[in-house]
């Protein structure tokens, strides 16, 4: 892991208005995620984990404080610039996979490259390579409803890494699969981190994920409770 900060939060706070009440989803969070990190953001339901990922991913903006991605303050950027960063520099892996039902595994993995305008021959090379990386050879032409949960999550991982993003945000990626499949997916993501230097930030309450993480950031009631380097 390098000392280059991919993500930096400075006293980030997010308030949501419910009627006449302000709900503090996160409050005064400050931490960095460094290039090559394999980091678990953990805490009970309602602790603010998903809100933090949404702030980092540019899906939401802090009410107070700052969020930097590769040195750029997201708050100061136009919506179109934030959308471009989200498309080009951030990979997303979701609990519910979020694959496009009418597309094959290959087409789902290729989708963001098409949005980027990558030439067809380069798309083919890159998608073929990531399909092999995630162990989906022979399944390229299957649609999501023809695949197991673990296979669908591998497609989601392929889609997340094919753009060679600065960071991959994984929101409860093992929640909808059995323990054997979860271990297999974690083996895959650990290998991508170790061999290709990919940076992962997980939102999770899964002890398996926390046990594999090199660093655990714990939240409670939207506040930082723990920040521990494990390896």
Domain count, the chain: 1
Q: Decide if 58 is inside a domain.
A: yes
**Residue 51 sits in a domain of what CATH number?**
3.40.50.300
Give the domain extent around 213: 35-62+88-229
Write down the mean pLDDT value for the chain.
94
Residue 120: per-residue pLDDT? 95
Q: What is the pLDDT of residue 19?
A: 83
Contact criterion met (CB below 8 Å) for 42 and 219: yes
For residue 75, is it within any domain?
no
The answer to whether residue 181 is domain-embedded is yes
pTM higher than the cut 0.85: yes
Residue 171 lies in a domain: yes
Establish if 119 belongs to a structural domain.
yes
Residue 187 has pLDDT above 70, yes or no: yes
> CA-to-CA distance for 117 and 166, rounded, in angstroms?
19
Question: Within a domain: residue 176?
Answer: yes
- Whether the CB-CB separation of 167 and 7 falls below 8 Å is answered with yes
Domain membership of residue 83 (yes or no) is no
String of b and e for 87-112 (b: at least 16 CB within 10 Å)?
eebbbbbbbebebeeeebbbbbbbbb
> Is 145 among the domain residues?
yes
Q: Report pLDDT for 18.
A: 83
Of 219, 213, 226, which is closest to residue 37 (Cα–Cα)? Answer: 213
């Amino acid at each position: 892991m390098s000392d280059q900060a991919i993500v930096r939060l400075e006293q980030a706070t997010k308030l949501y208005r419910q009627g006449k009440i302000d709900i503090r989803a996160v409050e005064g969070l400050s931490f960095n995620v460094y290039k090559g990190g394999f980091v678990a953001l953990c805490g009970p339901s309602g602790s603010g984990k998903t809100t933090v990922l949404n702030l980092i991913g540019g899906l939401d903006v802090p009410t107070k404080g700052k969020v930097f991605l590769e040195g750029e303050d997201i708050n100061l950027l136009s919506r179109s610039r934030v959308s471009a960063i989200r498309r080009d520099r951030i990979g997303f892996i979701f609990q519910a996979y979020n694959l496009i039902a009418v597309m094959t595994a290959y087409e789902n993995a290729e989708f963001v490259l098409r949005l980027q305008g990558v030439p067809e021959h380069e798309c083919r090379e890159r998608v073929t390579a990531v399909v092999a990386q995630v162990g989906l050879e022979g399944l390229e032409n299957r649609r999501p409803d023809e695949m197991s949960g673990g296979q669908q999550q591998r497609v989601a991982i392929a889609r997340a890494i094919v753009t060679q993003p600065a960071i991959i945000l994984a929101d409860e990626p093992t929640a909808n699969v059995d323990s054997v499949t979860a271990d297999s997916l974690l083996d895959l993501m650990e290998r991508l981190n170790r061999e290709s230097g990919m940076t992962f930030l997980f939102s999770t309450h899964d002890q398996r994920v926390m046990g594999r993480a090199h660093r655990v950031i714990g939240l409670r009631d939207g506040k930082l409770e723990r920040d521990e380097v494990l390896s």
